[in-house]
Amino acid sequence: MNLMEKHYLKLKKLSLSLGKIKAVVWDCDGTLLDSEAQFAKAWQIVMKNYNVEISDERMLGYVGMDDKIVHAELSKDVNLPDFQTTMNMLHDAIREKLSHKDLLFKDSAVALEYLRENNIKQGCASASPEKRLIQVLTDSNIIGYFESIYGGDMVENNKPSPEIYLATFHDLEVEPEDVLVIEDSPYGIESGKRSGAQVLAIDRGMFSEEHLSYADYKLDALDGESFTSIVSS
């Protein structure tokens, strides 16, 4: 029995009432998938093509931010092409120069299955463009878990505005007070809190505890009793 199976059996043994939380809405990059560091590296590769070095510390400040805002900020350093052309360059960098390993966090995989087995609706709301979001969820074989999927280009105001979460709640036909949002970045946490939902911050080691303190809950992993207790609270 592998580690994921052991975690899943641990969750199945818990006899918890799941009556209050009707839906869980996930962020994608850094929450479901170990992709934020990869995307940051892709930006650094693109900028290096223009002889501009971007530090890891600076890129950390852009985690969870709308790609259009990142594009605008980095365009101050060099005259980048238009947004869509730059996004194509980023995707080319990921495809050609970065790892194609499975990016799905194991604890997220366990939690996705646990929530589905307990008939809790699931949505995904990401600051990334819809086309990329659909692609990474498909490539990771998890797109079937979600009844609603929203990319940042599908709303007028991306995170930290609550608009993307409110649109997802509407799709799922749930009220904010019945939803748990799972996020990993300060921008995402702010977006979830402003929507009126409860927010669980998953600590993937990208941000300090202070950066995640605005969330209602904080966990280091999603595959244990602490997670199921939050869902059932």
Domain ranges in the chain are: 3-34+103-232, 36-97
Residues sharing a CB contact under 8 Å with residue 64, sequence separation 6 or more, in sequence order: 27, 29, 30, 36, 127, 159, 183, 184, 185, 186, 187, 188
pTM of the model: 0.75
Classify 3-34+103-232 by CATH class.
alpha beta
Structure tokens at 192: 């979830």
Classify 36-97 by CATH class.
mainly alpha
pLDDT per residue, tens digit, the chain (233 aa), is 565 655 555 444 433 334 579 999 999 999 999 887 788 888 999 999 999 999 988 998 887 788 889 999 999 999 999 998 998 898 788 767 765 557 899 999 999 999 999 999 999 999 988 988 998 899 899 999 999 999 999 999 999 999 999 999 999 999 999 999 999 999 999 999 999 999 999 998 888 889 999 999 999 999 777 788 888 76
Cite the DSSP H helix spans in the chain.
3-12, 36-48, 56-60, 67-74, 83-97, 106-117, 130-139, 163-172, 186-194, 225-232
Helix (H, G, I), strand (E, B) or coil at 15: coil
Q: Does this chain's domain 3-34+103-232 share its CATH topology with 36-97?
A: no
